[in-house]
Amino acid sequence: MFAVFFAVACQCTPVKVDDSYYLKPEPENSTNNSGKDSSDDGKPDTSTDYHQGYTLVWADEFEGSALNTDDWNVEVNGNGGGNNELQYYRAENVTVENGSLVLTAKIESYKGKQFTSGRLNTSKKHFFTHGIIESSIRLPKTANGLWPAFWMLGNDFSEVGWPRCGEIDILEMGNSGGISSGHQETYFNGACHWGFYKDGAYPNYAKSSNAPYSIQDGDYHLFTLIWDEEAVSMYLDLDKNPSVEPYFKMNIVDTNGDWAVGNYFHHDHFIVYDLAVGGRFTGILNASGITALDNGPARMCIDYVRVYQK
């Protein structure tokens, strides 16, 4: 995705931009995930193999009554993210309630926008190279027009720009492909972007999948990135289904050439959450096409984010 950067509260923060053109969807009925387990506590089983050899180095459990701004930068802007998004990001739409971080999207006229929502990041505050980065998230109904995302961006973006800094999209939902296929509650993707523009293009890889069950069912679902010297791999509900295959995997060892992926994913990245409204990723560029908020505000709830490293 293309990116534009703005300064917010003395922190340079990235503007996330559309990558829908680079999706490589699997066949409609395909899946990279096993069946749903009956467990619904939304908490990872830290005794499972994928945590062995790792130590918890940072986490936010969102147990207080307010966001810790020593850990997070809350973004405030209405620039459309470079994606023709329709929301204005406001600090008031980012709250901590009942043990969860909550991003709220709603119909609200504000500074020329017809919707408001929330976005925040850990730029220059918490950033990591390799490890297990995972978050338990309760997603809103995205149809039609919401675009929730959990992702990472290279902490050096202010020095080298985008996409040289590298970007890892752990979760995105709301893509136009899911809308058109009628799989809004199961269609999601992971992606990586890196390199630099040459002849109007840059290297990237994105992959969409259909989960075997709704991940907009009102339950918390765990999204896990396992990132090491060899690859980035992403998993859905790895805590409930320990044998699940990754829905996204990309090797990152190649360093042969300026565009080689291995030159861009072995340095610090920070964490971003946002709940966009409309934009090119969704295929909805006009407020009249947004139906997800017709019955009231929508909430993306994050129970926790945890980072483990060896």
Catalytic residue among 75, 85, 167, 185: 167
Q: Which residues contact 285 (CB under 8 A, 6 or more apart)?
A: 84, 86, 278, 279
The amino acid at 220: Y
Q: Measure the CA–CA gap between 229 and 224, rounded to whole angstroms.
A: 17
**167 is annotated as an active-site residue:** yes
C-alpha distance from residue 202 to each of 15, 22, 32, 51 (Å): 17, 11, 27, 34
- Given a contact cutoff of 8 angstroms between Cβ atoms, the answer to whether 221 and 134 are in contact is no
**Residue written as token pair 């946002």:** 274
Kindly list the distances between the CA atom of residue 282 and the CA atoms of 23, 30, 99, 287, in Å, as whole numbers in the listed order. Answer: 12, 21, 30, 12
Q: Are 253 and 264 in contact (CB under 8 A)?
A: no
224, β-bridge pairs? 134, 235
Can you state the percent helix, strand and coil of the chain, rounding each to 5? 10, 40, 50
Instruction: Respond yes or no: is residue 172 known to be catalytic.
Output: yes
Active site residue: 172, 185, 229, 230, which one? 172
**DSSP string of 49-70, one letter each residue:** GGGTT-EEEEEE---SSS--TT
Residue the block writes with tokens 């408001």: 116
Residue of 273, 226, 272 whose CA lies nearest to 245: 226
List residues with catalytic annotation.
167, 172
